Amino acid sequence: MEALKEELKNKIITTLNLEDITLEDIHDNDPLFGDGLGLDSIDALELIVILDKDYGIKLVDPKEGKTIFQSIETMAAYIQANRTK
Amino acid sequence: MKKTYINGVGCISTQKTFDTVFLEEAVYNQKDTVFTLVKPEYKEYVSPAASRRMAKGVKNGIVASALAMKDSNTEKVDAIITGTGMGCIEDSDRFLKNILDNNEEFLTPTSFIQSTHNTVGAQIALLMQCKGYNFTYVNGVVSFESALLDAKLQIEEEEASSILVGGIDENTDYTMSLYKLAGFVKNDQETPFDVLKETSTGVVYGEGASFFVLENERKESTYAQILDVEIINSLEENEVETEILAFLKTNNLQISDIDAVVLGFNGDAHFDSYYKNLARNTFAQTPQLYYKHLSGEFNTASAFGLWIASKVIQTQEIPNIIKVNSVEKPAYNTILLYNQYKGKNHSFTLLSK
């Protein structure tokens, strides 16, 4: 689980071009959107693609995203439970 | 009919053209076939949160436009017009590569958003909250002149009183590798390059962003008046002089009235003869300037040329590094710029003090 979290943080930093953010800046329970990392709706699309492309998870209901993408912790837990690759 | 004045300039290029006066730190790189940009401190102009979705061309455009606005002491413009030959090619490359690598699946929006040619003008407008006319010309090496001509016409016709005009292009490793395969870029083994004495084909490439605030009134910050801009797609070598004479005549000028001519020499032996003929004959008694040995060649390199010409008129000095000949004039009040690439897309721009 810890390895997955670190992997996710790396993917987020690279894919979303978070140039000034390091792994240490992203805490497992910090909100990804809004006050936390400050991601926006375009980033949400990038995260959905990461789930699909890297973990074989297709989000059928977009509303699910709100819960899944709350933090690194929730995202990692969802991936671990649902990944197909 | 209103006149068009260059009241502010901003330039980000392969030379240190910011935080300097006029090429005092310029270096003639004769070893590299592709020049890279001297980066400004982007964070001073755009927040890290905003810049993460900006291609380098966008960031350079934002900085160059901010410098031009500051230089002209202007806070708002009526319109923004940009010219770019290749747009934000780095992200276009990335987007297309993603399509291929992922078998047309998993396409994300970021590279696509960044890859469109009008992104630079759009981002500048967003930052400045400029809701006026916003247009981007993508016309090869006359992209910038097309933007300039549009701006001049709009000011003359009183459609706008102040317009931000710029030329932006960026280079990428992938595009340059294709250009090398196509023979557009000089062979690495042929160094040192000397743009004025080259006998081989191909050019040294560069990148940059140059912006100008054009207004309908003369101010303390005025560099020059833009008298005329002309674009001609095709000209034979022996037709250029006649065309220039006719262009000058329309502006009630003749060759002897030109205090300096800025020529687009790029070191391609096949096509620099267009400039050499003029340098040896028509403008033999005129101070001649060149600039692509400093900026590299790219679709909007001529915007760097306009920046040079504007600076010459403002400072009344010609740095040695841009001199083609040693002819001098007591004053540099009227300057003609001539550019072409591979014998196509010829442009003539006429400035006066």
Residue B225 has pLDDT above 90, yes or no: yes
Please write the tens of the pLDDT for every residue from B72-91.
999 999 999 999 999 999 88
* Mean pLDDT to the nearest integer, B194-211: 96
> Which residues are within 8 A (CB) of B64 and not within 5 positions of it... i.e. 6 or more apart?
B10, B11, B12, B166, B168, B209, B210, B211
Q: Encoding tokens for residue B207?
A: 């990148």
Summary mean pLDDT of chain B? 95
Q: Give the start-to-end residue ranges of the domains of chain B.
A: 5-215, 227-352
Of B320, B339, B26, B33, the C-alpha closest to B193 is: B33
Arithmetic mean of pLDDT, B4-15: 98
CB atoms B49 and A38 under 8 Å:
yes
- Domain B5-215 adopts which CATH fold? Peroxisomal Thiolase; Chain A, domain 1 (3.40.47)
Residue ranges of domains in chain A: 2-82
Reported ipTM: the value is 0.72
- Record: contact A20-B48, CB cut-off 8 A: yes
Give the residue from chain B lying closest to A52, CA to CA.
B106
Q: Which fold has domain B227-352?
A: Peroxisomal Thiolase; Chain A, domain 1 (3.40.47)
Alpha carbons B352 and B322: distance in angstroms, whole number: 19
Q: Assign residue B55 a region: left if phi > 0, alpha if psi is -120 to 50, beta otherwise?
A: beta
B21-47 confidence digits (pLDDT tens): 999 999 999 999 999 999 999 989 988
Please identify, in words, the CATH class of the domain defined by A2-82. Answer: mainly alpha
**pLDDT tens digit sequence for A43-60:** 998 999 999 999 999 988
Q: With an 8 Å Cβ cutoff, are B106 and A38 in contact?
A: no
Beta strand residue intervals within chain B, DSSP E: 5-12, 79-83, 133-137, 162-169, 208-215, 224-234, 260-263, 288-290, 334-341, 344-352
Q: A38 to chain B nearest CA, in Å?
A: 8
User: Is 80 exceeded by the pLDDT of residue B49?
Assistant: no
Question: Which tens digits make up the pLDDT trace of A3-54?
Answer: 999 999 999 999 888 877 889 889 999 999 987 788 888 899 899 999 999 9
3-state secondary structure of B238: helix
Hey, do B5-215 and B227-352 end up sharing a CATH topology, with the first three levels equal? Answer: yes
Buried b / exposed e along B276-287 (16+ C-beta atoms within 10 A): bebbeebbeebb
Q: Under an 8 Å CB criterion, which residues of B touch A?
A: 48-49, 51-53, 102, 105-110, 113
Give alpha helix (H) positions in B73-194: 89-101, 109-115, 119-128, 143-156, 173-181
